Amino acid sequence: MFISFEGGEGSGKSPQAELLHQRLQLEGFSAILVREPGTTPLGLYLRQSLRQEHRKQDSISPIAELLMFGAARAELVAKVLRPALAKHETVVIADRYADSTTAYQGYGRRLALKFVTLINELATDGTMPDMTFLLACPQPAISTIP
């Protein structure tokens, strides 16, 4: 089984994915937890690159960002997800997956959804979650101090 957790920043995806992972292992299931981007060397490189402070003129273009996420996901699918899912007894839990690309690069960066969908389809090669939990939280209230 393949389960993903999606949601905005601060919605609790990572803690919930970790709790499920721990609980499944405690109950005797074979389970692995993957993070996107991350888990593979290419994914970790992308995660580190995105976390670095960039000056506005140094940031990558939205289409390059989409392609980078696609490349990291393709590597994750080939090297981690497919081998784990082939074992039939393993539960894979993903802290983000393709829906995040649709949200952030498609809607956030305003890239054409047909291109985002194409990259997601190429990168996943049909490896999609059996179940996705979307954690929706209201945005924090913005206070104005006079």
What pLDDT, in 10s, does the model give residues 2-18? Answer: 999 999 888 889 999 99
**62's tokens:** 């939205």
106 to each of 23, 47, 145, how far by Cα in Å?
Answer: 34, 19, 35
d(CA 2, CA 81): 9
What percentage of the chain carries pLDDT values higher than 90?
Answer: 73
Which candidate, 108, 77, 91, 80, places its Cα nearest to that of 8?
A: 108
Give the tens place of pLDDT for each residue, 31-62. Answer: 999 999 889 999 999 888 877 755 555 678 89
* pTM (predicted TM-score): 0.86
Looking at this protein, which amino acid is placed at residue 43? G
d(CA 33, CA 88): 16
Whether the per-residue pLDDT at 143 is higher than 90: the answer is no
d(CA 116, CA 85): 25
Whether the per-residue pLDDT at 124 is higher than 80: the answer is yes
